[in-house]
Structure 1
Amino acid sequence: MSDLVIEQPVLPKISPATDAEIVTYLRRSCKFAEIADLTERDALILQLCEQYEVTVSDEEWQAAGDAFRTEHKILGVAETYAWLARQRISVEDWSEGIKVRLLARKLKAELFGEAVDSYYLQNREEYQRVALSQILVLNVTDAMKLAKALREEQASFCALALEYSKGKQSQENGGFTGVRFLNELLPEIAQAIATAIEGEIIGPIHTKLGYHILRVEKRFPPELSETVREQILDTLFEFWIQENSKAKMLDA
């Protein structure tokens, strides 16, 4: 019997999408409003910077660009241009994006920098960090069996996560999801682990993602780090925008 030869289909050659085609895709995929909101937010930030006379120096701009390249490991000229090509943007596009993000950071500090300390003192428990592991499954029966195995049979959390967890990060890392701020977690999870002791098996906890079995590996006391300061500035800025938006709607 001769070997059966199956002819493989030939993929047509597709040209890189134009800006107009990308806009059309965004409309079709119902993502246009999301991008429009972000575009309008940038425009608002630039107007506020002009209003409050917030500017960035060339030195600050250069330093922010260098920090971005270091973070994304695009240190050499060749690597930088290759990255820009993959992103389909020009040096000018990238540079202006760096400037807008830097202006946004300085604007938030200008408007709310003096309020950070008091906000932190009032809400410091939200900025507690935990090293957290989880197993995520999709039905309660499996969740109850796994929780029982962990509590009563001293099963390996890592082994069960590798075998059963549906969460990509937890499945790949034996359950470990990293060190997280409580305010970054889903509300149900943050509430469940708020008073848990290290090593305790918690759950199953039901969320929109499924059923979570959790274990707090380590707790870290709250501290007003630079990361927390940036988060608080973002929070205060968003509150301010939302309140102003509501006021304008009521006046309309």
Structure 2
Amino acid sequence: MGRNGSEYHTNQVFAGAVRRHIVIGLLLLSCPLMAAEQLIDRLAAEVNGHAITVSEVQSKVEKGPLVEVSPWPAQENDPPAKVAIHDLINKKLIMQKADELDIEVTDEALNEEIKSFLTRRNLTREQLMEALGQQGMTYDQYRDDFRTQMIINQFQGREIMPQVKITDRDVQSFYLRNSGTMAENIRLTLRQLQIAVPSGAVDAVKTGKKQLVEKVYQEIEGGMPFEKAVKIYSDNESARENGGLMPQVFLKDLAPLFQNAIRELDEGRYTRPIETPMGYSIFYVSKREFSGSDEYLKMKPQLENQLRQEEMNKLLSKWLETQRRRSDIKLKDNV
């Protein structure tokens, strides 16, 4: 069954608040001095008929956390109020979807999770209550927030996590991109097609060679196997015999000109013609291996978690984009 708590139906809360303010307004007729002190909450946004109030936005900005789910489509440098309201909208969409999926957290499960959380943090209930008091939060509010986070986690585990596919190759590439050690850790098996330009060649010969290498490249693009192209067109006799196969080499050991051309290529891909003082070369990546390192092995679990979280954030943004198109969302201009 879906949840019916006021936490997830803020339109009911807002309607109740309006009724209370009507009663207060009638009382104020006999106390005009109090009228100036009354502040009636305003509507900041509606999400499929469910209200988000200005006070919710203000509380998020003042007390935090500013982002619980995702600020999308707000940007990191946008005003805090804009970030807060979009996070509230996104949170509302997730809670509504969780309701559709009958995701709920029982009091028993909530109590167990809070107990487990305190144990992991080596905290007592008394220490928790003291910390909540310092933040101006009651234990009931803390439980409500904790329950909401558990529901969001269950939603992500059901709807987002199954789409996250992280391979060892992904983790390796992530490590290389962020460590700046790609050249030291990538071992390559390459094939090379060479078209030589003789030293001191006249312009007509240089032009002919350039046209030839472009013709060869187009034939490879058109589907000619690289080895066949080497055997037909390469000016290197030994390369013609073995299809241009080179001994294994680390990326760092190649000339900078070749490194830059090959660095991002996957297996089965090839470079454009590279001009050198001796002519032209086209390289084909037969095999690309990650040699690894002690540092990588130590960091791998952390890297995998970080990459998984980044992928989850991307997929969540895509889900929110789709959900927003399907939803009736109204933002008030005066907020």
Give the TM-score category using the shorter length. 0.3 to 0.5
Task: Give the TM-score of the pair, scaled to structure 1.
Answer: 0.46
The structure that has the greater radius of gyration is: 2
